[in-house]
């Protein structure tokens, strides 16, 4: 399995920014650093897998959103040598992604896969910790950490089609995010509220439910007369010309 530049560049940028905020966090608290790192690396990893295995457009969209978050991170952290390297890597990754990504993806006239809402929902949940961590910055409280850390869990819950996964993204996580607002500062409260509304709106789209519970079609079996069955099929099944087991 070969990883091309379109997949490797965003992941490298994410890793460099995580290293940068760990070494020079600036005004980011350790909790914010954890949330930002989780959001960037989690989204970049999923995007890499998507580009390598399917070459789908959604993977490039996820990479683009993650790289945009990297630029916001750059604006909120102190400038040093590692910061410059990470910024260059981010700019290069953006050029690669915006240029069209892998050749395989560009050749696809129409991306085949789940509906846009069913893809945007888990990507939003994966990136949410980074946005919340940047918004919280110096004001990372327990409520902020709980909401941020549970967002990727809700995404995994839904994408792995685990029992209650649809309910988790429709009600459980949005209500938890809304309930955390009074305990947070103004900026993280706004992000939590906006995230709860956005996730709920996406999760209640019919396409999201269909992606989680695909409609089942009842098939019909039509027996094939023995005289129309290819000889090699009969031989493999050890049946005679009348479709009966050979003695």
Rounded Cα gap, residues 60 and 50, in angstroms: 8
Residue with tokens 């069913």: 118
How far does the chain reach from its first CA to its final CA, in angstroms? 49
- Range of lowest pLDDT (107-116, 132-141, 153-162, 207-216): 107-116
The per-residue pLDDT for range 202-242, each reduced to its tens digit, is 999 988 888 887 555 555 555 666 666 677 777 777 777 76
- Percentage, residues of the chain above pLDDT 70: 82
> Are 123 and 44 in contact, with CB atoms under 8 Å apart?
no
Rounded Cα gap, residues 57 and 107, in angstroms: 11
Rounded Cα gap, residues 74 and 22, in angstroms: 13
> Are 168 and 160 in contact, with CB atoms under 8 Å apart?
no
Closest Cα partner for 183 from 153, 146, 152? Answer: 146
Say yes or no to pLDDT of 7 above 60.
yes
Pick 127 or 247 by higher pLDDT: 127
């Amino acid at each position: 399995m070969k990883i091309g530049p379109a997949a490797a560049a965003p992941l490298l940028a994410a890793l460099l920014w995580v290293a940068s905020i760990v070494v020079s966090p600036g005004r980011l608290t350790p909790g914010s650093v954890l949330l930002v790192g989780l959001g960037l690396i989690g989204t970049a990893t999923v995007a890499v897998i998507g580009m390598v295995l399917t070459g789908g457009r959604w993977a490039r969209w996820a990479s683009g959103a993650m790289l945009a978050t990297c630029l916001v991170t750059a604006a909120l952290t102190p400038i040093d040598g590692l910061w410059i390297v990470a910024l260059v890597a981010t700019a290069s990754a953006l050029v690669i992604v915006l240029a069209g990504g892998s050749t395989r993806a560009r050749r696809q006239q129409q991306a085949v896969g789940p509906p846009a809402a069913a893809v945007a929902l888990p990507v939003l949940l994966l990136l949410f910790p980074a946005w919340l961590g940047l918004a919280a910055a110096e004001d990372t409280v327990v409520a902020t950490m709980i909401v941020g850390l549970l967002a990727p869990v809700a995404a995994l819950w839904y994408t792995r089609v685990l029992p209650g996964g649809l309910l988790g993204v429709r009600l459980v996580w949005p209500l938890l995010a809304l309930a955390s607002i009074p305990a947070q500062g103004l900026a993280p409260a706004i992000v939590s509220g906006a995230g709860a509304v956005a996730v709920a709106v996406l999760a209640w789209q019919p396409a999201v439910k269909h992606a989680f519970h695909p409609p089942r079609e009842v098939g019909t079996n039509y027996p094939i007369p023995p005289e129309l069955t290819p000889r090699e099929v009969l031989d493999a099944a050890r049946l005679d010309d009348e479709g009966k087991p050979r003695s």
